[in-house]
Chains A and B, each alone.
Chain A
Amino acid sequence: MRFELSEEQQFLVDTTQSFLAKELPPTALRAWMRNAAGQDYRQWWRTCAGLGWSGIFAPESCDDYGSVSGAPVVDAAIVSEIAGRALAPSALPGCSVAVRALGDAAPDADPTFRGVLDGSRIAAFALEEPAGTWNLDAVATSARREGDDLVVTGSKVNVPDAATADVLVVACQVDDGVGLVLVPIDAAGVDVTQKRGLDLLREFGDVRLDNVRVGADALLSAGAPSSKVAEDARRLATCLQLAETVGAVDHLCGLLLDYAHTRHAFGRPIGGFQALKHRIADVTLWVESCKGTADAAVDAVSEDSDEAELLVSVAKSYVGDRSIRIVQECTQMFGGIGLTWEHDAHLYLRRVTTNRALLGTPEQHRAHIARLLRVSDGVGAWDFH
């Protein structure tokens, strides 16, 4: 967790932690496995929404919802990090992206918007395409205008919550670049195929959109050009994923530390042996570095700074690689128990491996960094941050 928290944010941390400790004991988590799209998930998300998770990005005009600190990206990242520690299933990214993109344009009289806010409807962010697209440059799905309507055609893959969602936020080619179009899941021409996934606590699906007709007002503008809205959505989703991963690795590292203190071998706690102590020190360094870089990305996106694009990719590439290394090092040091179904280590490995692959791999983000730094032009005159 970041150190500089306002009073309101500290309150958010405390309530989120005690809520998860009370409502999501390890046994409950285990009951989710392989059943992530079920009715329980809807119920769970409604409870989370009751705490305000779904409405962090609601405009000021919505009295009951909004950010506690006035910095909704930071607040959502705080929630995501704490949820990540517990591996809590959550529709936070999709719903945050939807509410933020709706912006002031959507009064809470709108049934879709109201449903997303009160947790009765789940929104999913559909970005990735079969060609491995992780950013907006190569989005092929299109929304073409026909009279007063938009007609959406294309394919999206690995959409989180696809089989549960009521509404999709679909990244599409529109008039002025790539924008976000709101598509109800029950619209004619939408076909969802649920998939099995490595992460047992989340659900993914592929979505085919075959000439899906929606109103022109389904293009989300939030008062900005469509492409800016879409880019902001991608960055926000990435920040929430980063925070989730950071929470996950921090928690597992804590479990390892407890184990290193209490597990005895050769007459003393195993954490006393330099062979392990030094590895735990390295793991601690990586976890703290992940926190530092993820927080910096969240801050840059929150402030919409010029460096946001670069810092998101730096964090995504670093955290993507390190999180796997952290979990595997922890697993190795847990020894045999870490290889069992009963131990949580594999749940964390499943989660961080999934997060690494979604929204761009470390390799893809490093290629993006190289482009941003214009290394090919030999310019590269970027100061270190």
Chain B
Amino acid sequence: MNLDQFRRQVREWLSSNLELKAGLPKPTDAEDRVLQAKIADGGYAGLPYPVEYGGRGLTPGHQEIFYEEAAPYRLPAGLGVSLGMIAPTLLDCASPGVLAEHLPKIFRGEEKWIQLLSEPGAGSDLAGSLTRADRDGDRWIINGSKVWSTDAAVADYGFCLARTDFDRPKHRGLSVFAMPLQAPGVSIQVIAKSDGCDTEFYQEYFSDVALPADALIGALNDGWSVAQRLLFHERNFSGGVGYSVGLRAKTKESVSVDDLIAAVCLRGTPLTEREEDLLAQAYSNAVVHNQLSKRVSSGYTTGTLSGPWGSLLKLSSGLKEHRRAAIAVELCGSAAITWDDGSENGPIGSSWLNAMVMSVAGGSNEMQRNTVGEKLLGLPREPVVDRDVSFRESLRRRAPAGEG
């Protein structure tokens, strides 16, 4: 179907099936699932995915059109990880059996997935995972802990990276499992962020969690390449390109340029040149970020770009968010540090405390710079000292002298 016809069809379907989001609160998890089922019933879920796995067999371009047209409507708010990161990773790596079992449910909002990658002792160096999966007959027994997963409390499955062989080198003894979060032995705790709020991130603890043999995603001990695909799709999701095009809703920023203008104008005194300059900077930075994102999208669409350009967009977001919050603090003066609306942090204070979330979460700026330098520009890696050493041995070397 050509894209213009498709767009007309989407427009028609949206206007008679979804409600406009204006004035409505962000959907809850339960509402997310109802909305996603509706989208799937309409035939607009999994647009670029194969038909045999519940998709429509179309292109990312069709998906982009759907979400462009759907932007004014109330859409699922918390299914981005499942639809934008897990689904394309499964398509890249999972067996037909796993795909047939999970993809249709993901597209219908029946299964919500989270990432179980980072650990308290393994963040940027994700391959240093200590969570272990031990074979027990035809089952896998998982022990360990994962952290920084979004929305874990309402999710169904985790995409869990675990060590299946301690005698192989760090990157070659890992495997990925589909972990049902309701399984016995899984406990989930919310993490309080530095702003005192505790609604976003979670830590999970696994104590002898038993998984069936077919929970394995990809080949045994090939988990690192599976995880790499997930990270690739995560960058694309952040940048709104590739299979994730359109999925990241342009949510209102915590403190938008409009908010800033309003805050400064409330003061009642005319803006200084410096203040006008800062507002124009905040505005331009946001515009240029979107223009960069369009450029990368166009590079993917035309086939001129390949590789993890999402990392460049992620780096751009990380730097932009910090700059915007800094501008807000400078512009708002004392209103950034004291307020009287009874809120915990105040809008500017809250944005300032969270200014560095984007430069760490989902891969730090430094890791994005490594990816840009090494994968896009072909620069050599730093020498790695633990590449050809068994993970057991590298753990032993980690221990301070006199121990271990």
Q: Which residues of A contact B (CB under 8 A)?
A: 2-4, 257, 260-261, 268-269, 271-274, 277-278, 280-282, 284-285, 288-289, 291-293, 295-296, 311, 314, 317-318, 363, 365-367, 369-370, 373, 375-376, 378-382, 384-385
B398: which A residues are within 8 A, CB to CB?
none
A260 to B261 Cα, complex, angstroms? 43
- B295 lies within 8 A of A3 (CB): yes
One of B56-64, B143-151, B367-375 at the interface: B367-375
> Is B42 in the interface zone, CB < 8 Å from A?
no
Taking the closest CB of chain A, its distance from the CB of B148, in whole angstroms, is 23
> A296-B291, A375-B264, A380-B257 known; 14 other A-B pairs, CB under 8 Å?
A3-B301, A260-B379, A269-B379, A271-B377, A277-B379, A281-B369, A284-B312, A292-B288, A292-B291, A314-B284, A318-B285, A363-B277, A375-B279, A384-B250
Count of B interface residues, CB-CB < 8 Å:
54
- A289 lies within 8 A of B287 (CB): no
A4 to B295 Cα, complex, angstroms? 10
In the A-B complex, list the 8 residue pairs whose CB atoms are closest, starting with the nearest: A378-B265, A366-B280, A272-B380, A370-B276, A277-B373, A292-B291, A281-B369, A380-B261
Taking the closest CB of chain B, its distance from the CB of A250, in whole angstroms, is 13
- B265 lies within 8 A of A367 (CB): no
Pull 18 A–B residue pairs with CB atoms less than 8 Å apart, ordered by A: A3-B295, A3-B305, A269-B379, A281-B315, A281-B370, A288-B292, A292-B288, A292-B295, A314-B284, A318-B284, A365-B280, A373-B257, A373-B261, A375-B265, A375-B279, A376-B271, A378-B265, A382-B283
- A317 lies within 8 A of B284 (CB): yes
Q: Which residues of B contact A (CB under 8 A)?
A: 250, 257-258, 261-262, 264-265, 270-271, 273, 276-277, 279-281, 283-296, 298-299, 301-302, 304-305, 312, 315-316, 319, 366, 368-370, 372-374, 376-383
Taking the closest CB of chain A, its distance from the CB of B110, in whole angstroms, is 34
Of the candidates A271, A278, A281, the one whose C-beta lies within 8 Å of that of B380 is A271
A4 to B296 Cα, complex, angstroms? 11
Of the candidates A3, A278, A282, A314, the one whose C-beta lies within 8 Å of that of B298 is A3
A281: which B residues are within 8 A, CB to CB?
312, 315, 368-370, 372-373, 377
- B370 lies within 8 A of A277 (CB): yes
B292: which A residues are within 8 A, CB to CB?
285, 288-289, 292-293
- Given contacts A295-B295, A314-B288, are A273 and B382 in contact (CB under 8 A)? yes
A317: which B residues are within 8 A, CB to CB?
280, 284
- A369 lies within 8 A of B280 (CB): yes
Of the candidates B283, B301, B382, the one whose C-beta lies within 8 Å of that of A272 is B382
A269 to B273 Cα, complex, angstroms? 46
